[in-house]
Structure 1
Amino acid sequence: MVPTKLAVLSQVCLISTLSILATPLFASERSIPELVDAVNGTPDDASREAGKKVKLRNHAKGFCTSGEFTPNPALQDFLTIPFFNQAEIDITARFSLGGTNLHASDKASGRFMSLKIDSDKESLNFVTTNAERFFASNLEDFFIFQTKVKQGAEGKQWLIDNKPDASAFFDYIKLLPPSASFANSRYFGVNSFLFSASTGEIKPGRWIFEPVSGVINLSQTELANLSDDFLKTELLTRIKEKPAVWDLYIQLAQEGDEIDDPTVLWPETRQRLLVGQVIVNGDRDTETSTLQCDKGIFNPLLLPKGIAPSADPILNARTAAYVESFIRRL
C-alpha cells in the first residue's frame, strides 16, 4: 500500500471509529460486509474479488467541486451549535448518480449531493438525495431491497408485493421527474439528527436543501435532446458564470413524529430553521481537498458539538458501510 493510501485509510478509520463503537449493530441485523455486498451486487467470493479489482462502489458516476457555506447568524437564537457561529466555511462537494454503473444515464431521475464543511476545529458532512422517502427502515429490509432490485423486474415485483416501504418508495420515484441540473434539485437528509436548542431541549430534525434558482425539471422531449452525460458539464459550466446556491434548512419534528424511521415523511407544514447557504462556485477546484475528494468518505456521523445522531439504524450503519466499501477499493 502506497503512503498516500495508507494516510487516507488512517484518517478514515480515525474519524469513524468512535461512531462505529458508539452505535453497535444488533445480532439480528445484517453485518456491514453483507450490506456492502448487497449494494455492490457481490454475493459470493468470486464476485467480491472481481469487484475489488475494478474498485466497485456505489454512486460510481460522480464528480467533485468546491464552494463555501455561509451560516445564518439568527440560527443561534434557536440552536446552540458553535460550529454555525462563524463566517464562511470551505465546502467540498460531490454530485453523483446512484448505483455502481460508471456509465449510468443522467436521464434517470436520481440525483445525489454529498458535502464536507470543514472548519479549523470541527467538520460537518452531509449525504443527501433528491428522494425525500427512503425504501427501508432497518438493515434487514435494506439488505433485502438491494438484493432483490439486482434481480430485475421479478425482484422488484416481489418487493412491491411483500415490502410496503419499498412499494411506497417505487410509487414515489415513479412520480419524480429528472431535474435539468444538479443545481435545480432539492436534496434531503432522509435520516434524523438531534439538535441542541438554546432552551436546553433536544430538537429532532432533518436536513433539507432548497435550490435558490428553483426546482426545474425536464420533459421527455427535452430529455431526448440531451446526452447521457449532460449533468457534469452543465453544472461546471454554470458555476463559471454564477454559483449554484441552496438554502439549508432543518425541518423540526413535532411530538409524535417518527424520528428513527427514514421511510416516514413528515408533513410539509413542520417548522423549518434556516441554517445558512451552500454556495458551490468551483473556486477551490484545483486544491488537493477537491482533487482527492474521491479518496475518502463523506461521514454523516462526523458531527460538531450540538448535533447528535438519532437512533435510526440506517443512519448508524452508514459510516461503517462507507469504510468497508472504501477499504475494498484500496
Structure 2
Amino acid sequence: MVAIAGPSLAGNESESLGKTVIQQDQLYDALLDALYATFGQHPGFRVAHAKGLLVAGTFTASAAARGLTTAAHLQGDTVPVVLRFSNFSGLPSTVDGDPMASPHGLAIRFTLPDGGATDIVSHSFNGFPVATPQDFLTFLQGIAASSVEPANPAPLQAFLATHPRAQAFLDTPKPAPRSYVGAEYFGVNALLFTNQQGQQQAGRYRIEPLRAEPALSDKQAAQMPDDYLQTELAERLAKGPLQLRLVLQLAVPGDNLADGSIAWSRSHPEVELGLFTLKSLIPAEQQQAQQQGLDFNPGRLVEGISPSSDPMILARQRIYERALQRRNPQH
C-alpha cells in the first residue's frame, strides 16, 4: 500500500484510506507471526533463512544493462557487494543437506556510488508459492498449524486443494546443491526497468553460475557434513575469486506481472546484466554481527528500477522491515 497524501481527499476518503493502511499493517504483522509460529523464536537469527554466510565482492554491469536502465549500479562501474547465501529453514541448526534447507537463498546488497544501497533477494526455486499477501497468510498459517503439536493439517490441505501452484511449490523436488555457487537463484517478482529514453521493460532477475553443477541426490545429501555448503564455499574462495552471472529474464506479451507464483518460460528473451566477483568471506568474528544488522529487502529499489503490479513486492518489503525490528529492536 503506497501512502497517498493531499488536501483533495474528502473526509470519507481519508478515513477509508486510514482503515486500509491499518488493515495492511495488521496483515503484515500476521504474516510475520505465522512465520514465527512455524519456526519458533531464535534470538539474533532471521525468522526464515536463519543459517547463512556472508561473502564480500564486487559487481560490474554489462553494456547491455545500460541500455535497459538508468540504475546507478548498472552503468558499468564496478561497485561493492555483500552476498548472503542461506538455507531456507528458520531453524539455525538446520544442516545444509536437510530438505528443509531448500530452497536455498541468495540476497545481495549493492553499495551505490552515492553511498546508498539497493538489494536483490532470490531463492533457488523458479516461482513463489502464492500470488497475493492474503493467500500467503493462509498458506503460512496452514503450515504453522501443521507444524505444532497436536498437528492440524486440515487448514493447509483445504488451501492446497484450491491453489495448485502452492501444492506444486511444496511437492516439486528441490535437491541440495553441491555448492552455494553451483545453484541458480530466481528473483520471483517482476520489476520495471526504465532507460534514458524513458522506455520501460519488465523483467525478473536470475543469478546463475558460469558453469552449471549437478545437484546432489537425496542419498548423497543425507551423507554430507552438517555445514558442507559453508565449508565448500570457504575452500573455493581460499583458492581465488569466484564469479556468478546476473541475468534479466524479459517479460513477453501475455505474462502476468502481478503473479510471482507463475514461472516464466526459459524461452523468454534474456539480457546478461553483469558479473559478480566473489572475493572473500566476511571474517568469522564479524559474520554474526553483520548478519544481524543487514536488512536485505526486495523493495529497496533505486531510480531506474521500480515495482511492477505484483502485490508481493510491497508485502515482502513490509515483512522484512518488521522482521528486522523484531530481531534487532534498535533499528
TM-score (norm 2): 0.82
Q: Equivalences for 1:74-223 in 2 at 5 Å?
A: 74-107=64-97, 108=99, 109-121=102-114, 122-150=116-144, 151-152=146-147, 154=153, 156-171=156-171, 174-223=172-221
What is the Cα deviation at residue 117 of structure 1?
0.8
Structure 2: distance between partners of 1:237 and 1:278: 18
> In the alignment, is the contact (CA less than 8 A) between 2:72 and 2:113 conserved in 1?
no
Structure 1: distance between partners of 2:77 and 2:113: 12
Structure 2: distance between partners of 1:78 and 1:52: 41
Structure 2: distance between partners of 1:239 and 1:286: 14
What is the Cα deviation at residue 281 of structure 1?
1.7
Structure 2: distance between partners of 1:157 and 1:243: 46
- Report whether the alignment pairs 1:63 with 2:53: yes
> In the alignment, is the contact (CA less than 8 A) between 2:69 and 2:194 conserved in 1?
yes
Letter in 2 for 1:161: A
Structure 2: distance between partners of 1:283 and 1:105: 20
Structure 2: distance between partners of 1:305 and 1:289: 30
Determine the structure 1 residue equivalent to 2:257: 259
Letter in 2 for 1:227: P
Give the secondary structure class of the aligned counterpart of 1:143: helix
After superposition, the CA RMSD in angstroms is: 2.8
Determine the structure 1 residue equivalent to 2:14: none
Q: 1:266 to 1:55 in 2, by over 3 A?
A: closer
Determine the structure 2 residue equivalent to 1:7: none
> In the alignment, is the contact (CA less than 8 A) between 1:83 and 1:305 conserved in 2?
no
> In the alignment, is the contact (CA less than 8 A) between 1:183 and 1:235 conserved in 2?
yes
Letter in 1 for 2:75: N
Q: 1:279 to 1:170 in 2, by over 3 A?
A: same
Among 33, 36, 46, which residue is 1:37 paired with?
A: 33
Determine the structure 2 residue equivalent to 1:72: 62
Q: 1:322 to 1:55 in 2, by over 3 A?
A: same
Q: Deviations over 1:50-95 (max 9, x none)?
A: x386766221111212111111123223443343224211111111
Highest RCO, 1 vs 2 (Cα 8 Å, sep ≥ 6): 1
Determine the structure 2 residue equivalent to 1:245: 243
Structure 1: distance between partners of 2:48 and 2:96: 15
Q: 1:83 to 1:140 in 2, by over 3 A?
A: same
Q: 1:228 to 1:290 in 2, by over 3 A?
A: closer
> In the alignment, is the contact (CA less than 8 A) between 2:45 and 2:292 conserved in 1?
no
- Count of residues in Structure 1 that have an aligned counterpart in Structure 2: 303
Give the secondary structure class of the aligned counterpart of 2:291: coil
What is the Cα deviation at residue 288 of structure 1?
6.9
Determine the structure 2 residue equivalent to 1:15: none
Structure 1: distance between partners of 2:43 and 2:50: 14
Gaps of 5+ in 2: 5-16
Structure 2: distance between partners of 1:287 and 1:227: 22
Structure 2: distance between partners of 1:84 and 1:289: 28
Give the secondary structure class of the aligned counterpart of 1:275: strand
Q: 1:206 to 1:226 in 2, by over 3 A?
A: same
Letter in 2 for 1:168: A
What is the Cα deviation at residue 256 of structure 1?
1.6
What is the Cα deviation at residue 287 of structure 1?
10
Give the secondary structure class of the aligned counterpart of 2:280: coil
